Structures are given as C-alpha cells and as structure tokens.
C-alpha cells in the first residue's frame, strides 16, 4: 500500500540555521510529490510540487526539495530558517487510487529558536 513517512515528529532549529525535513514514500509508479505547510488554525498551503523533470524543485518562501528516486525520498530544505517558518509541514504523494488522492505523512512540527 502507498505510504508516506516523515520520521521526525518535531524538529527545533535556531533562527538563521539551515533546515532539512525528511520524507520517504512507498509507491510503485512515478509519484507526484508535494510539500504543504500548515500554520496553527489554518489550512494547508502548497510549498512546492514535483511531477517530472528536474529533480530539484523550488518553492515559495525560499524552500526547495529534491526528489531522489533511488532513495524514494523527497526532502524539504531551506538554507536559513526564519521565525515565521514555525509551522507543521506535510509531505504528500498523489496516487492513482480513489480517483487520485493525496496520501499524507503524519507531519513534522518545526519550532524555531530565536
């Protein structure tokens, strides 16, 4: 069955430090991959997506992610974290089930120390 694993439930980084959030997926076909961010009490905002082509994708707010097929990974990175980046981050894969749906990871809560 398709699944998405985000191994880190919580991550704390200092403001200005670099960030990497891990995501591994299990899906037999070529995946559509997404990263979403959710601020407290808010909906999900799309940060970036990968469908095909260049495996390094750029997103909003200075985020980027790299698709590595051999590792079934789609890790999210940011070179310098800002306090406003504190939120919960969800990795998701689009799968050809249920009319095509998103399978989400359990999320990673990012805390930023000043």
Partner 1 sequence: NAGVTQTPKFQVLKTGQSMTLQCAQDMNHEYMSWYRQDPGMGLRLIHYSVGAGITDQGEVPNGYNVSRSTTEDFPLRLLSAAPSQTSVYFCASSYSPRGGGSGYTFGSGTRLTVV
32 binds partner 1 (CB under 8 A): yes
The CA-CA-CA angle for residues 71, 1, 32, to 5°, reads 55
Binding pattern to partner 1, positions 42-81, x when CB under 8 A? xxxxx--x-x------------------------------
- By CB atoms closer than 10 A (0-12, 13-18, 19+), residue 22 is middle
104 binds partner 1 (CB under 8 A): yes
- The b/e string for 45-60 (b: 16+ C-beta within 10 A; e otherwise) is eebbbbeeeeeebebe
> Smallest gap, in angstroms, from Cβ of residue 98 to partner 1?
5
Q: Which residues bind partner 1 (CB under 8 A)?
A: 4, 9, 32, 34, 36, 41-46, 49, 51, 90, 92, 94, 96, 98-102, 104-107
């Amino acid at each position: 069955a398709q699944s998405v694993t985000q191994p880190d439930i919580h991550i704390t980084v200092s403001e200005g430090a670099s960030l990497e959030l891990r995501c591994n997926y299990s899906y037999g076909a070529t995946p559509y991959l997404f990263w979403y961010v959710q601020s407290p009490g808010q909906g999900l905002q799309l940060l970036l997506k990968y469908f095909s082509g260049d495996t390094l994708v750029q997103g909003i707010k200075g985020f980027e992610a790299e698709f590595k097929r051999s590792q079934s990974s789609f890790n999210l990175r940011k070179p310098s974290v800002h306090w406003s980046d504190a939120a919960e981050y969800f990795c998701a894969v689009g799968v050809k089930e249920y009319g095509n749906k998103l399978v989400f990871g359990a999320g990673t809560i990012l805390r930023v120390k000043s």
